[in-house]
């Protein structure tokens, strides 16, 4: 068992550059005194109106969780599916983004087929939302996803290296339950996450996730880089969702067949610490599937990072293509590309 070190000592021993991946909050606007950024995660300050709105939303979320959480999982999934269908019908901006993404990735689809995939995605993600309410609303896990055949062997082999595992994942399927299922199966998981827009929601989410043993490191928080290194030195598993656009250092790498900004951090951390790399996600058959990503032939540096990201994205893309309606196409993943005229209406 490794001896305990102080955070300062651990930080002084970190591989150079590990903390470069962590985003920094923007400085306050010196001309105006207070920050003009509304996002408190980035040093902003809410206006009185924002504070009232966010307080109402926070109270509403807590109340809905308290009322709906105790309901049976099947009821919550059905309610969530109905909500997803309603949002898909009414939220035309989200529907347009989803349709643009589907057309970009699947140009071979007929217009009606693309619209059908988008509609099914809203329906399915609504069901996953109901599943998440069930997960957060109960002290005990009502359902866990089993590991796919061979997945345990993949992870055990990766951990035998003794330098931890960077576990690249995606928002595919009920991803919150995937994390809880891994912990329930004995995986020493610590996830990288971004704080919620409301610090009160962050505290609630931390408490609800930790109820099922899921620990988190918030990107950009004090001591985050030290905790990342400690996690890997303890030969634990560092979960890193990599499929969505994020406000972190990124580089363009193919994702779903399209060049897309992809976070550099997980690849940089893996190469500079020597951690093994595993891709793990929900699979359409209701299991958690895992694949080892080779990194032993790559060197620390820009070229090695890009190649490792290319390999990770290729595996994540294959997982999403195999279960497309379980992935949030309404997320503006290809922001630069989607800003160009599509020439088609939704």
SS3 298: coil
CB 165, CB 277: distance < 8 Å = yes
Question: What pLDDT sits at residue 36?
Answer: 45
Q: Indicate whether 233 belongs to any domain.
A: yes
Distances (CA, A) of 279 to 243, 306, 309, 314, 319: 12, 16, 11, 10, 10
CA distances from 207 to 135, 137, 202 (A): 12, 12, 9
- How far apart are the C-alpha atoms of 34 and 27, rounded to whole Å? 10
- Per-residue model confidence as pLDDT tens digits over 3-42: 334 434 433 344 444 544 444 434 334 334 444 446 766 6
- Token pair recorded at residue 98: 């989803």
- Confidence band for 159, pLDDT divided at 50, 70 and 90: very high
Q: Which residue has the tokens 């643009």?
A: 100
The residue range of the domain holding 59 is 42-141+329-338
CB 265 within 8 A of CB 272: no
For residues 263 and 261, give the distance between their C-alpha atoms in angstroms, rounded to a whole number: 7
Identify which of 335, 333, 324 has the alpha carbon closest to the alpha carbon of residue 125.
324
- Convert the pLDDT of each residue in 290-313 to its tens digit: 999 999 999 999 999 999 999 999
The reply to whether 268 falls in a domain is yes
Q: Are residues 87 and 216 in the same domain?
A: no
Model pLDDT, residue 342? 42
**Residues 309 and 164 occupy one common structural domain:** yes
Same domain, 220 and 87: no
Q: Closest by alpha carbon to 219, among 203, 243, 195, 190? A: 195
- The answer on 137 and 156 residing in a single domain is no
Under 8 Å between Cβ of 267 and 276: no
* 320 and 333 housed in the same domain: no
Position 92 in a domain? yes
Indicate whether 198 and 101 sit together in one domain. no
If one counts the domains in the chain, the total is 2
Does one domain contain both 189 and 207?
yes
Domain shared by 71 and 172, yes or no: no
């Amino acid at each position: 068992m490794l001896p305990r070190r102080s955070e300062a000592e651990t930080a002084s021993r970190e591989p150079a550059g590990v903390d470069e991946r962590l985003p920094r909050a923007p400085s306050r606007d010196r001309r105006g005194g207070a920050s003009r950024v509304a996002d408190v995660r980035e040093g902003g300050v809410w206006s009185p109106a924002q504070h009232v709105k966010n307080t109402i939303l926070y109270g509403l979320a807590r109340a809905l969780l308290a009322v709906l959480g105790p309901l049976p999982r099947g009821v919550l999934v059905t309610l969530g599916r109905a909500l997803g269908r309603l949002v898909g019908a009414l939220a035309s901006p989200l529907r347009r983004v989803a349709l643009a993404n589907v057309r970009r990735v699947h140009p071979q689809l007929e217009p009606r087929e693309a619209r059908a995939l988008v509609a099914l995605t809203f329906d399915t993600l609504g069901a996953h939302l109901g599943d998440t309410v069930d997960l957060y609303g109960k002290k005990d896990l009502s359902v866990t996803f089993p590991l796919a055949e061979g997945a345990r062997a993949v992870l055990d082999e990766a951990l035998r290296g003794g330098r931890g595992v960077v576990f690249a994942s995606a928002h595919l399927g009920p991803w919150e339950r995937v994390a809880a299922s891994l912990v329930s199966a004995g995986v020493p998981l610590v996830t990288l996450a971004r704080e919620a827009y409301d610090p009160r929601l962050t505290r609630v989410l931390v408490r609800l996730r930790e109820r099922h043993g899921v620990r988190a490191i918030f990107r950009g928080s004090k001591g985050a880089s030290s905790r990342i290194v400690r996690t890997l030195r303890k030969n634990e598993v560092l979960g890193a969702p990599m499929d969505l656009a994020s406000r972190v250092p990124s580089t363009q790498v193919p994702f779903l067949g399209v060049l897309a900004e992809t976070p550099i951090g997980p690849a940089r951390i893996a190469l500079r610490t020597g951690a093994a790399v595993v891709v793990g996600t929900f699979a359409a058959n209701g299991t958690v599937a895992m694949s080892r990503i080779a990194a032993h032939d790559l060197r620390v540096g820009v070229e090695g990072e890009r190649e490792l990201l290319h390999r990770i994205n290729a595996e994540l893309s294959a997982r999403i293509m195999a279960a497309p309606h379980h992935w949030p196409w309404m997320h503006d993943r290809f922001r630069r590309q989607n800003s160009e005229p599509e020439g088609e209406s939704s």
